[in-house]
Chains A and B, each alone.
Chain A
Amino acid sequence: MLSFEELRVLLERCTETSGVSFYRNLYGMAPESPARTIRDLDDWTSLPFVTKDALIASPLRERLFIPLSEVDHLRTSSGTSGKPPLFSPRTFLRNMEYRFTYHDFKKPILSYTVPAMPHWHQHVQESHGFPARVVTFDPKNAEACVRLAKAAGADSMSLFAFHIPLVAEHMKRHGIAHRIRFIEIAGEACTKLLFEFMRETFPNATILPFYGSSEVEDCPIGMPCRPITGEEPLSVYHAKRSHYHELVDPDTLAPVQVISGAEGELVITAYPGEPSSFPLIRYRTGDIVRVVGDHCEQHGTWSFTVLGRVGMDFLKVPGGVLRADEIERVLRTMPERVSDRFELHCSEEKTLTGPKLKPILHVEIRGEVDLTTLAQDIARNLRVAPSFTYNDGVGKGRYLPLVCAPLGTSTHGKTRRLSMH
């Protein structure tokens, strides 16, 4: 992890009088005041956090530490609760050599644009003297992509976790699943069910988790301590050299001591070195993590696993995002049957074509309501993407049908509106 001295230099660099205004504004610094400095870690922990809301509120030009012409690409993450999307600049990925411990990347890789862009995979292959051969995965046209991957001789994949069942189905049909020797999975945490499905479908593959975030230029946030083997917890990470990780209580924001078993929200400082389009200082990731070991023997720092989102109000699903505010919107269109209070409990169910999302929506019913009809009506109107409803996803075999259940009185009060089990 970054040393105290490196954190001090980073803070001074990011708050220079003539520099980019983002951190100076965040810290409420007067226009002519000198760069902010710290004497000890107490000074460091007194620095305000960067939040996604603060990033959304700041135009890209006020966040860019390099000219736009030197940016590699932009990433976007959906604004939660109806907020506008956030565009995050990226330079090229660094500190990813650990992947070569598990795979040689001599042959083409089937890659989505997340966690790494196809052009980045090409760059990695070229920099190791191999032909730059990538097959870009298009989730909307998975079968076509698998055909291309077959012809190209792809032996590895880098995809979202929820893409896996879709790709597996086509790869099995084309008889190439056994060829896959490396799978990198990003997005939502890999469940036991998904891991077992992958183990059975891709028996020759090393499965490596990738924990990243659209807002963090210096991805991944956590380097995998080991591949997923079925040993719990499935995905274990540690910080990389260019990061500094802290844990805080998500309610009080007080520091949480890093000891085995401790849980808290992960706060990350990330600076990959130059060029850096946006050095990130004390960013609240919104992810709750649990410390697995306070000193990882192999990597020299503490290790952790990701438990879920703080106050989760969205859930990435194949083809889009299930959002709490969108559910609320749909419920408000049927006031004679339900109120806008709800809890969505999601889990996965094993099917012949892999694990699928199984949501149960607990709603506050008004009068006599047929829950089956209600669930169908909600699914027809519930958008997971601008032109894609939950019902469309059921029709395409991506999710199991939505089920409605009454909202129990015991669940009234301080509860999460969305939860994954």
Chain B
Amino acid sequence: MGIDLPLLWALIIGFGVMMYVIMDGFDLGIGILYPFLPDKHDRDVAMNTVAPVWDGNETWLVLGGAGLFAAFPMVYSVVLTALYLPLIFMLLGLIFRGIAFEFRFKARESERPVWDKAFIGGSLTATFFQGVVLGAFINGLPVENGVHTGGAFDWFAPFPLFTGVGLVFAYALLGSTWLIMKTEGRLQSRMRRLTHPLTWVMLALITVISVWTPIAHPHIAERWFSFPNVFWFSPIPLLVVLCATLMLKGLKQGAQVSPFLYTLVLIFLGYSGLAVSGWPHILPPDLTLWEAAAPPQSLGFTLVGALFIIPFILMYTALAYYVFRGKVRPEDGYH
């Protein structure tokens, strides 16, 4: 058999997580940006840009978790146990964020501020702890005999906390450019003003992580700066600079859609950069993806379904976005 099942599964999970970061990224970003939208009508419009699709967006996170469970059960159990508290906090954050979509519109006027706060707090908490999990994962989780040997609070360290804050800004940028695309008028111009500094912060974050990780982890430095690699990987930082430049230019010219697309490319490049650093470890620093894979019977059985079904998922997801395309406006005649 020439099919490298663990590799394919790593790609599928990687794809699922990237879809999640992008799609729930702008949902969560809207929650993070809510404090900058004090007006109730603007808040309504902002929430309504994602109300029909947020549930599908969040499902990619479930796919990431379930796929990891199926294909790399050891990684699933080690990572989820090692990062227990940040993950519990993330889940609680997602609970508040998720119910806010429904409750906010069912609430009486006097109750709505509670769910506004739940939306903001939930989005911030979920995002921050997703970033913490990412940072702790990059830092590495030591494993012996399939059991995590680190401490329960290893994630409470400078780098994971930094990536936590970093992800808040990254999702905010996704949210602000999404709103530029989906709204107009005062709300849109407000987002336009916010996007400018957010872009610079995003660039700074990418730079800091690009410097921090090779210094802290010699094998990452080795990966990026050894000879032919430096040649192959150099387009990544160059594209980041190019993208950011085009984005700032587009913002000045009043572009509607392109800032969001450039943000997607920026996130994708950052994500690829992390993949380059981590490869081929599914659980840095000890486990490669082949060492942690489930038996081939499990990988093969699930792969058939994944390869067959994911294209359909992408198609009807596209249909949902198509049905709700265009600018979202306050209800005509609403009083």
Do A and B associate with each other?
no
Q: Which B residues form the contact surface with A (CB < 8 A)? A: none
